[in-house]
Amino acid sequence: MVLRTHLYPAFGDLRLDHITTERVAQYCAGKATYSRKTLGNHLAVLAKLLRVAVDWDVLPAMPCKIRIPKAQRSPPTFYEQETMRRLIDAAAQIDARTHALILLGLHAGLRRGEILGLEWPDVSVERRQITVRRNVISRILDTPKSGHGRVIDLSAELTAALQRHRDASPKTGRVFLQDSGRPALAKHLYRWTEAAMARAGIPKKKGVKLHVMRHSACSALAAMGAPMIAIQSLAGHESPQTTAKYMHLAAGVQAAAVRLFDEERGSTGARVDSEP
């Protein structure tokens, strides 16, 4: 999509060895209204394309310098636990499919593509586990973002929701299907999620709705005291630094940590403001 929509209109009339640093700078200037993250994605595709051309001996060397801007770090958007509960309850009132979808986001922290790629053989109600093996992006089946699968233990509520959904669905193939029986697309997941949000009276938040639920799962687990390594494993984060941001964003986590000083003071009888 990036190549077709953005890069080809800008560079498609050039030989690869005529893509200069100046031309790349002009491209960046023309995308001034885009976020640094989006522009970085465009430049990463262009850089990858040129590096492959070098690897395949189409080019003797990189024809230009491409500096990918660092994206601004902003706290992830997430729902508080009370809002999560309202959304889950509202989804249960709609149907089993919507209930299972919302819980896969809020209790299992699955990505959109992982939800789309989930198949019934990946679900074990008996063991209360799902195995994430696939990721679907723009109808293209691929491996999960981390490059490998992972096994996720399920909450009792999510297990029951998946069982009810399975009882009302074909027992093979994709877990989420359109009403026509064809595999669901991203737009269907958004539609079902928006229906649950509307029923729960939850306003739309900035960011991708399903990813907000994933962020919420991580922050809620952090607030409830789950170890960082457990959250990292569930979310499939490659780096613990990605997981760490949820530990300090979750409400009460920092306050609980600071209270350890109060507990230590109480056990020793020392006064913080006492003179040496």
**Total Cβ atoms within 10 A of residue 22:** 9
Please give the domain boundaries of the chain with CATH numbers for all domains: 2-55 (no CATH), 81-210 (1.10.443.10)
pLDDT reported for residue 272:
45
Are residues 46 and 63 in contact, defined by beta-carbon separation less than 8 angstroms?
A: no
Mean pLDDT, to the nearest integer, of 241-245?
76
CB under 8 Å to 159, separation ≥6 — which residues?
125, 128
In this predicted model, which residue has the larger pLDDT, 69 or 99?
Answer: 99
Mean pLDDT, to the nearest integer, of 83-87?
94
Question: What rounded mean pLDDT belongs to the chain?
Answer: 86
Strands 129-132 and 123-124, by their bridges, are antiparallel
**Structure confidence at residue 274 as a pLDDT band (50, 70, 90):** very low
Q: Which has the minimum average pLDDT: 106-120, 155-169, 234-248?
A: 234-248
Mean pLDDT, to the nearest integer, of 98-122?
94
Q: 32-41: long-range contacts at Cβ-Cβ below 8 A with a sequence spacing of 24 or more?
A: 35/71, 35/72, 36/69, 36/70, 36/71, 36/72, 37/71, 37/72, 39/69, 40/68, 40/69, 40/70, 40/71, 41/2
pLDDT reported for residue 1:
85
Residue 131 parent element (H or E): strand 129-132
pLDDT reported for residue 45:
94
